[in-house]
Amino acid sequence: MLILVLNPGSSSLKFQLRRSGISEAVPGVLLDRVVEGKQGDALDPGFLGDVYDTIDAAIWDFTGRTRPDAIGHRVVHGGDRFSSPVRVTPDVMGAIEELEELAPLHNAASVACMRAATERWPDTPQVAVFDTAFHRTIPEYASRYALPEDLVTRHGIRRYGFHGISVEMASRDTAAFLGVPVDSLNAVVAHLGNGASVTAVKNGRSADTSMGMTPLEGLVMGTRSGDLDPSIVTLLQRHGLSLDEVDELLNHRAGLLGLAGSADMRAIQDAVQSGDPRAILASDMAAYRLAKYIAAYSMVVGGAGALVFTGGIGEHSSPFRSRVMSLLRPLGLFIDEDRNHSAAAGARLISTDGSAFPVLALPSDEERAIAEATAAVVLSQDPANQSPDEIEAWPRAKRP
């Protein structure tokens, strides 16, 4: 199948065109691009029209065809309604849009991509793949907030968790690297990008994660504050900030940006080397918060068998990994700087041989996971496997 994967992040839009077979270990990537920019500016209809013009041309260049077989969308928040990938319909788009307040940097972008794709390729099946789905295995004592039952039930308040697509793929890749079954893997996975989270993976399943009901909780991130005393919110409101202004502050003007004036970890690490005190503080705070979560989640999984750094920062920022690892020596973890600074591609070991357990840096391949999930949903609804009534409701995708 020829699958277009659309992955809007908190500060970028990544799109891939890839050949995907459900039994294929690594689908072939034909086109891979990232467009950086502020989400509200980048994903307006005109911008998406330009992106899809590029994709149209690429499909023709690579295949001599006019459209993909299927389109897979990363959706950050699925709420209580979505626990697995689903076909995109108007009702699904409406439900995802209703969850926008829980993922203000992401869900609207996903719906914009879906609508633009529907307009461009109306007969092509689309699939929504949810970041929250992997975390549905978190037990209630970890997912529940200490609030009255009626409020929790009425508003769907719980820890949903995010980056699940990346963490699930990282867990599979880590198990393969270590030569163990994924369902026996106990690991701590740190997905570090503009948005960042840590997940406790126990027996291959999510047992706890640092992000909560929304992607705001947890680590110090590019523009998000992460953990803070809830009374800070009420204090700011008492001093004149509106609810919307507080929300905008915590999601868009806090985190590394608020601390150091930049949300780019590369720029911050360069500034650290030049002695910039704001950059040093931002780096130290982000590393300290991350190390605390890693240590706690080592307990949650009953003794970690691996620590995994993934995501853009996790894979590429060797200085930040070094800073975090220096705080984890009480766990018996020590970094091998030669391995840490290696430019080798793919999963690689960065800890010393004498460390208590292996520490890995590996690529985050969310697009591969989305493509596989999209193929699985579309093929499960293939007319060859359906009744006549089901066939009538399903637009056929051309096969390569």
Residue 215 to residue 210: CA distance in whole angstroms: 9
Confirm whether residue 73 is marked as ligand binding: no
Q: Using an 8 Å Cβ cutoff, are 107 and 96 in contact?
A: yes
Confirm whether residue 312 is marked as ligand binding: yes
Residue 353 to residue 16: CA distance in whole angstroms: 37
- Nearest alpha carbon to residue 220 among 329, 79, 324, 350: 324
State the helix-helix crossing angle for 277-300 and 318-327, rounded to 10 degrees.
Answer: 60
Confirm whether residue 144 is marked as ligand binding: no
**Rounded to the nearest 5 degrees, what angle is found at the Cα of 189, between the Cα atoms of 183 and 194?**
140
Confirm whether residue 192 is marked as ligand binding: yes
- Nearest alpha carbon to residue 198 among 42, 314, 338, 369: 314
Confirm whether residue 107 is marked as ligand binding: no
Confirm whether residue 313 is marked as ligand binding: yes
Residue 222 to residue 195: CA distance in whole angstroms: 6
Confirm whether residue 205 is marked as ligand binding: no
Confirm whether residue 379 is marked as ligand binding: no
Confirm whether residue 266 is marked as ligand binding: yes
Confirm whether residue 7 is marked as ligand binding: yes
What contacts 339, CB < 8 A, 6 or more positions away? Answer: 348, 349, 350, 351
Q: Using an 8 Å Cβ cutoff, are 197 and 211 in contact?
A: yes
Confirm whether residue 193 is marked as ligand binding: yes
Task: Count the helix, strand and coil residues of the chain and give each as a percent rounded to the nearest 5.
Answer: 45, 15, 35
Confirm whether residue 292 is marked as ligand binding: no
131 is catalytic: yes
Within a 10 A sphere around the Cβ of 313, how many other Cβ atoms?
23
Catalytic choice (41, 123, 131, 353): 131
Confirm whether residue 155 is marked as ligand binding: no
Q: Using an 8 Å Cβ cutoff, are 219 and 197 in contact?
A: yes
Confirm whether residue 74 is marked as ligand binding: yes
Confirm whether residue 366 is marked as ligand binding: yes
Residue 298 to residue 208: CA distance in whole angstroms: 11
Q: Which residues are catalytic?
A: 131
Annotated binding-site ranges for ATP: 14, 191-195, 264-266, 312-316
Annotated binding-site ranges for Mg(2+): 7, 366
Annotated binding-site ranges: 7, 14, 74, 191-195, 264-266, 312-316, 366
Annotated binding-site ranges for substrate: 74
